[in-house]
Amino acid sequence: MSAGALPSGIAPPLDLSTKRSARSVKSASMTGLMIASVVVIALPLVAVVAAVFARGLRVALADFPAFFVKEVPIVARRPGPGMGPAILGTFLATGAATAIAVPLGLLGAVYLHEYGGMKRFARVVRFMANVMTGVPSVVMGLFVYLSWTLSFGYSAFGAGLALACLMLPVVLGATEQMLRLVPDHLREASYAVGASKSRTILTVVLPAALPGIVSGSLLAIARAAGETAPLLFAIGAATAYNPNLFSQANTALSIQIFANATSSFVAAQDRAWGAALTLVLLTFVITLTARIVTARFALRR
């Protein structure tokens, strides 16, 4: 009976309430500061999107769906649609850039992480890729202008080359990062049943890293789709549809935004808003796809 006997007195009430102290003041002020920062960051973003949607939707819906289909008026002051050739041109240039930069970036990253490691050559390439990420896009445009456009003339492909120069280091870096995240024990498990290195990379490492590689590439594509500076040199200024990837001047949404927004005619400025809306929607769709791909694959694991 004595073992479980409690002391007879009543224990003093336990006080767990929050105390006003220097620490709680500090906590509250820091929280306030962080919320304020988020608002400051979000404000311009929301303002940009709101302005683009408000003014762009009015233009696009006034001539729907003609705005997305019809050719750009040759006479800038004439009101009316459209942006069809620019949408096609953006797809052509970005598509060409993707076809060049994604395979090269992927293979390069596989070399860097799986074969190069810490070898001198791999370190030099990695360093150069990092430097390339920081090169202003206008310099890429200038480079392509001198090395391609002057010899072969304006084309969507030239623009694609310039965009590929921009995308390549991004795809390379993102892919190598994803390969680094594939745990070594998966590689060892593959080696342990007698799989060769190439087979291990193809059937274990790349599938495991694929969602990250896909979303990294899509983000690079979305960024490239909106680039203006490198296109100024390489794509020319067409107003009509040009489905030929390799010859003649073409156009792109970003170029049309630049050209129309700097015009003094209201009709042209309206078309710039419409083109801006189209471009925002396009990048939004690509980014959303990237998110969905990542989430879908992540669930399946």
Of the residues 104, 195, 261, 267, which one makes contact with other proteins according to CB under 8 A: 195
Amino acid at 131: V
Q: Does 124 bind other proteins (CB under 8 A)?
A: no
End-to-end CA distance of the chain: 57
Number of residues that bind other proteins (CB under 8 A): 23
Of the residues 32, 65, 103, 117, which one makes contact with other proteins according to CB under 8 A: 117
Q: Does 192 bind other proteins (CB under 8 A)?
A: yes
Q: Does 131 bind other proteins (CB under 8 A)?
A: no
How near is the Cβ of 183 to other proteins at its closest, in Å? 8
Write out the binding residues for other proteins, residues 212-271 only, by CB under 8 A: none
Give me the count of residues in the chain: 301
How near is the Cβ of 256 to other proteins at its closest, in Å? 44
Q: Does 189 bind other proteins (CB under 8 A)?
A: yes
For 157-205, give the secondary structure using H, E and C. HHHHHHHHHHHHHHHHHHHHHHHHHCCHHHHHHHHHCCCCHHHHHHHHH
How far is the C-alpha of 177 from the C-alpha of 282, rounded, in Å?
26
How near is the Cβ of 184 to other proteins at its closest, in Å? 8
Q: Determine the interface stretch with other proteins among 80-88, 134-142, 181-189, 256-264 (rule: CB under 8 A).
A: 181-189
How near is the Cβ of 189 to other proteins at its closest, in Å? 5
How far is the C-alpha of 202 from the C-alpha of 196, rounded, in Å?
10
How far is the C-alpha of 253 from the C-alpha of 251, rounded, in Å?
7
Q: Determine the interface stretch with other proteins among 37-45, 63-71, 163-171, 190-198 (rule: CB under 8 A).
A: 190-198
Q: Does 199 bind other proteins (CB under 8 A)?
A: yes
Write out the binding residues for other proteins, residues 13-72 only, by CB under 8 A: none
Q: Determine the interface stretch with other proteins among 10-18, 53-61, 154-162, 196-204 (rule: CB under 8 A).
A: 196-204
Q: Does 103 bind other proteins (CB under 8 A)?
A: no
How near is the Cβ of 190 to other proteins at its closest, in Å? 7
217-246: b (≥16 Cβ within 10 Å) or e: bbbbbbbbbbbbbbbbbbbbebbebbeebe
- Report the candidate in 139, 137, 143 with the shortest Cα–Cα distance to residue 167: 137
Q: Using a CB cutoff of 8 Å and minimum separation of 24, what contacts does 24-32 make?
A: none
How far is the C-alpha of 224 from the C-alpha of 15, rounded, in Å?
59
Of the residues 26, 207, 246, 266, which one makes contact with other proteins according to CB under 8 A: 207
How far is the C-alpha of 143 from the C-alpha of 165, rounded, in Å?
10
Q: Does 204 bind other proteins (CB under 8 A)?
A: yes
Smaller CB separation from other proteins, 19 or 300: 300
Measured CA angle at 232 (ends 260, 265), to 5 deg: 10
Q: Does 190 bind other proteins (CB under 8 A)?
A: yes
Of the residues 47, 48, 121, 188, which one makes contact with other proteins according to CB under 8 A: 188
Of the residues 9, 23, 194, 264, which one makes contact with other proteins according to CB under 8 A: 194
